[in-house]
Amino acid sequence: MLKVSDIREFIRLVDETNIHELHIETGELKVLIKKAEAQHAVVNGARAHTATGGSPTPIAMPEAVHAASAKPVEERAEPLSEDSASAVVKSPMVGTFYRAPAPTSPSYVEVGAKVTEKTVVCIVEAMKLMNEIEADVRGEIVEVLAENGQLVEYGQPLFRVRLA
């Protein structure tokens, strides 16, 4: 019987070598690990972390999931209108929205906070992976559009940012 630690080790092996695909069958358990293409290693600016806050882990997703969720980053933060000086940071995936890295920690950003393209503004937890979401725009947070602990959908607005 494979343990989770074994599967993590296989993922690390695939990531650190020239192996592009690993298929393992033991009894009724079947595991297929495929190395993601370089352009899919970061999906919509989200960095996947283990639930314990470990280091980034590449995630190989089925092509159908890539097609549905791997939209260009520009779609996450788009101007509200042509003459508007604000943008909306959207969720890149379905998951649970968290404003802080831990229940007792302060929020990543509050209304009035200055952000850059690389500023982490929240976490969206999906399948027990904590995905840090970056602002992808430079400006000031003017509105938080999701509640802490709320289930969010792909493309759902999370923050409104006044562009700098």
Tens digit of each residue's pLDDT (9 = 90 or more) over 88-128: 999 999 999 999 999 999 999 999 999 999 999 999 999 88
Rounded Cα–Cα distance for residues 93 and 129 (Å): 12
**141 pLDDT higher than 80:** yes
What is the chain's mean pLDDT, rounded?
75
Q: What is the mean pLDDT of residues 142-160?
A: 95
Q: Characterise 99 by phi-psi region: left (phi > 0), alpha (psi -120 to 50), beta (else).
A: alpha
Percent of the chain predicted with pLDDT > 70: 70
**15 pLDDT higher than 80:** no
Rounded Cα–Cα distance for residues 140 and 116 (Å): 9
Architecture field, domain 74-163: Beta Barrel (2.40)
Note the pLDDT of residue 152. Answer: 94
Report the Cα 34 to chain-centroid distance in Å.
19
What are the helix (H) ranges across the chain?
4-16, 63-69
Note the pLDDT of residue 37. Answer: 53
Note the pLDDT of residue 110. Answer: 96
